[in-house]
Amino acid sequence: MRAWILKASLCAAAAAAPLSGASGQRVAPRVVTAAGSVRGDAFFAPSLGVRKHFMVYLPPSYDAKPAMRYPVAYYLHGLSGSETDWLSRAGIDAVADSLIGSGLPEMIIVMPDGDDSWYAAPEAVKPYETCRDSIRSESAERGCVKSARYAEYIARDLVAYVDARYRTRADRAHRAIGGLSMGGYGAVKLALQFPRVFAAAASHSGVLSPRLIGPDPFTMPPVYAADADTLLRLKIPGPTVFGRNLALWMDNDPAILAARLERAGGPMPAIYMDVGSSDPFLHENQAFDFELRRLGIAHEYHEYPGTHNWRFWSTHVPQSLAWMLGIIGR
């Protein structure tokens, strides 16, 4: 397995350079022998009570080899984002084509619409009728839900639909989840909440320690808020959808979820995370890395030059995809 992951990492490094220009724009990948296809899809999500949209990348051989099945990676968008972000802002389809052209296995990539949910159930849910009648930047059909069980929407509803609709290798060993910022938090959190669904999770610039308050300047060990009022008063960047419900903050905290899963005996998903050295969430990632090391949980952690923007994410998504394939592509 180590040799396989090393190959994946080398391919990722080769692929990363040609995918992002000096200004972060998408340019043609260097190694592409065939191109996959991208489709839009929608389905009724029982956990939300509405239809939700997603984008799906299908690998180059998908139509030509109708008997073949593929591992699946789910990639989550960030706050104020949409299901098209990974395509339009990072060219993840071109990244996948390049990695496949470099010799890595083919995969399906699913990119769902997660609203601004933090991929969790909030403290309070706005009634559907109120949401529908509100002035919004998107249509009610796109942005309103009748219930707000977003974790179940991704890990159960969406996974079940994708496995039924597309030719996936429909088991934990061949399923991973990744994301950026809010989506990086969501990916790690969901993998720890549903460890029998996802074998691996990757986070780019994730909000991974949402209760972190210090110390300042930052040193280990980290210090966490003990009550929700402190979190809200300090306006800590993160999932404020939990409001003053401290139990919700705790139940959706990746470090607490990892500790609970470790005590329960797993199965523990593989975890990858990277963050920019100038990212406002750098200390949150360092704190989560500390917690995983303290728990003795194997993981991969990287700090690179950069900040919280698409230049960073488009540059490093080849690494997370290749890392995932080293786990779910075997």
**Which domains can be identified in the chain, with CATH numbers?**
2-328 (3.40.50.1820)
Q: Return the amino acid letter for 286.
A: Q
Task: Give the angle 307-308-309 at the CA atoms, nearest 5°.
Answer: 100
The pTM of this model reads 0.90
To the nearest 10°, report the CA torsion of 309, 315, 317, 319.
Answer: -140
Q: Return the amino acid letter for 268.
A: M
Q: Tell me which DSSP letter residue 198 carries.
A: -
Average pLDDT over residues 282-293: 97
Check: CB of residue 87 under 8 Å from CB of residue 55: yes
pLDDT value for 124: 85
Cα end-to-end span (Å), the chain: 9
95-150, pLDDT tens digit by residue? 999 999 999 999 999 999 999 999 999 988 888 888 888 856 678 888 899 999 99
Extract long-range pairs of 141-145: CB within 8 Å, 24+ residues apart: 141/50, 141/51, 142/53, 142/113, 143/115, 144/50, 145/48, 145/49, 145/50, 145/115
Residue 60 has pLDDT above 60, yes or no: yes
**Dihedral pair phi/psi, residue 40, rounded to 5°:** -100, 145
Task: Determine the Cα–Cα distance for residues 109 and 161; give it in Å rounded to an integer.
Answer: 14
The structure tokens 């990287």 sit at 302
Considering only the C-alpha atoms of the chain, give the largest distance between any 2 of them, rounded to a whole number of Å: 57
Task: Determine the Cα–Cα distance for residues 226 and 45; give it in Å rounded to an integer.
Answer: 35
Give the DSSP letter string of 57-101: EE-TTTTT-TT--B-EEEEE--TT--TTHHHHTT-HHHHHHHHHH
> CA 172 → CA 1, 47, 152, 187, distances in Å?
17, 21, 16, 15
Mean pLDDT check: name the lowest of 7-21, 63-77, 218-232: 7-21
Task: Give the angle 49-47-211 at the CA atoms, nearest 5°.
Answer: 125
301-311, pLDDT tens digit by residue? 999 999 999 99
Task: Determine the Cα–Cα distance for residues 293 and 270; give it in Å rounded to an integer.
Answer: 13
Residue 62 has pLDDT above 90, yes or no: yes
Residue 2 has pLDDT above 70, yes or no: no
Q: Is 119 left (phi over 0), alpha (psi -120 to 50) or beta?
A: left
pLDDT value for 19: 41
Single out the residue of 86, 89, 107, 88 nearest to residue 97, CA to CA: 107
Q: Tell me which DSSP letter residue 50 carries.
A: E
Banded pLDDT at 22 (limits 50, 70, 90): very low
> CA 103 → CA 189, 306, 307, distances in Å?
31, 29, 31
Percentage of the chain with pLDDT > 90? 75
Residue 229 has pLDDT above 90, yes or no: no
Banded pLDDT at 239 (limits 50, 70, 90): confident
> CA 64 → CA 60, 139, 319, distances in Å?
8, 37, 27
162-199, pLDDT tens digit by residue? 999 999 999 999 999 999 999 999 999 999 999 999 99
Check: CB of residue 155 under 8 Å from CB of residue 194: yes
For strands 175-180 and 200-204, give the pairing. Answer: parallel
Average pLDDT over residues 16-42: 61
